[in-house]
A and B are shown apart, each in its own frame.
Chain A
């Protein structure tokens, strides 16, 4: 500060130097309140989607103009006079708040990626291309099996909207909170617990993948010759509580390497 007789900076520092918040309580309260805020934001976005549908209909426009899918409000869209166009022809029209009927009881809510990052959703995949879907996430909701089928079909709407991300409701939680096994000497693993996966490399350059799986899948994995065992490209550990791990082959890893790795994993707890 230019005025040496008036050192406000120092005065302020002196005044608050011994002030300390209760950081533990602050953290806990902030997480609780922040979680509530997230949920509220989600509700607001959903409400905004309904308003957007109403606005399109009121303006004589159907969502079919915007997407090659059917809008939620079929009756209202039937009254729309504008001709239906292909998605690619109007692909630039994606906007946050749009709700799209994807068929089979599925609904897709369009939000920006920035909005999506604040919501309790799980990004399941994304088109790697750049296009009119870039910057947007579609949150698909509906019957669980229908969601899985839609994803298995390759997230069809993403083909019309390159760049679009595909998400499902609910923040995915990993099966475990911490790394469940130690790998033997000679292997290095990078864990992605939220995805229940680890990517491992051996000192001699071999690659393998570890996948944490729920106990309910153990019977299938331990008895199906195409899922685990010699020649299958994968080995499974024993069941450990609620989980087990499948060890899957990668470039430069032999079947013997894989089996050795699987049998050498040591459960942490």
Chain B
């Protein structure tokens, strides 16, 4: 029998989460620097998407929509918390790697030294490979602001990453 079944929305949604879950969770991890916070952010994002699933599933690119919801959710949450995290240009005290795999966590620590918005800009630009204009649209910033924040964040991150990834950052 040849059929075109109307699949239950929950099945469609489950497939969507399976297809996009890892990517979205990794984005959340880079943004939050914490596994539990990343899980919360990812779950909140998917919950919002499920609440509007009938509309989202018809979107041209539901995955891009999900990424945008996650980024905005992250920024909004940080604003609401009025977090006391202060961007700094100084390096953390002990970003030693010594080629120890566990030292890779220092990249997440380094990212946490940036403001949430600067971090979101870097994650969008260098993890999601979004263009300046796309990042601006995703985060509700001007393209100039994205360029400025990106440049500033890279300058702050560069010396730290040079320590963590000497094989890549040293001639």
Contacts and interface: CB of A to CB of B under 8 A. Distances in A.
Say whether A associates with B. yes
Interface of A: 1, 5-16, 19-21, 23, 26-27, 29-38, 41, 114, 117-118, 174, 177-179, 182-183, 187-195, 198
Contact of B29 (A1, A16, A32, A188): A16
Nearest to B129: A9
Given A179-B3, A191-B5, 16 more contacts: A6-B158, A7-B165, A8-B126, A10-B168, A12-B107, A15-B107, A21-B21, A23-B21, A27-B21, A30-B13, A34-B51, A37-B47, A37-B51, A188-B1, A190-B4, A192-B6
B18 A23 contact: yes
B17 A27 contact: yes
A118 B170 CA distance: 52
Given A5-B170, A6-B158, A37 B55 contact: no
Interface string B14-53: 1001100110011001100000000100111011111111
A11 B166 CA distance: 11
A117 B54 contact: yes
A1 B21 CA distance: 26
B73 to A, nearest CB: 13
Contacts of B161: 6, 8, 11
Given A21-B21, A23-B18, A34 B49 contact: yes
Contacts of A114: 55
A26 B123 contact: no
Contact of A26 (B10, B17, B129): B17
B127 A13 contact: yes
B108 interface: yes
Contacts, number: 141
A179 B51 contact: no
In terms of DSSP, what is the predominant structure of the interface of chain A?
helix
Contact of B157 (A8, A29, A177): A8
B123 A27 contact: no
A152 to B, nearest CB: 26
Interface string B114-146: 000000001100110100000000000000000
B154 interface: yes
Contacts of A189: 1-3
Interface residues on B, range: 35 or more
Given A34-B50, A191-B4, A29 B43 contact: yes
Given A8-B154, A9-B126, A11-B168, A182 B18 contact: no
11 contacts: A8-B154, A11-B164, A15-B30, A15-B107, A15-B108, A23-B21, A26-B39, A117-B54, A117-B55, A188-B2, A192-B6
Among B55, B129, B171, the one with the most A-chain Cβ atoms within 10 Å of its Cβ is B55
Contacts of B18: 23, 27
Among A23, A35, A187, A194, the one with the most B-chain Cβ atoms within 10 Å of its Cβ is A23
Q: Nearest 10 CB-CB pairs, A to B?
A: A34-B50, A30-B46, A33-B47, A37-B51, A21-B25, A16-B26, A34-B47, A34-B51, A23-B21, A8-B126
Contacts of B129: 9
B74 to A, nearest CB: 15
Given A10-B168, A15-B108, A182 B1 contact: yes
Contacts of A195: 6
Contact of A41 (B22, B51, B108): B51
Contacts of A12: 30, 107, 123, 126-127
A11 B110 CA distance: 12
B152 interface: no
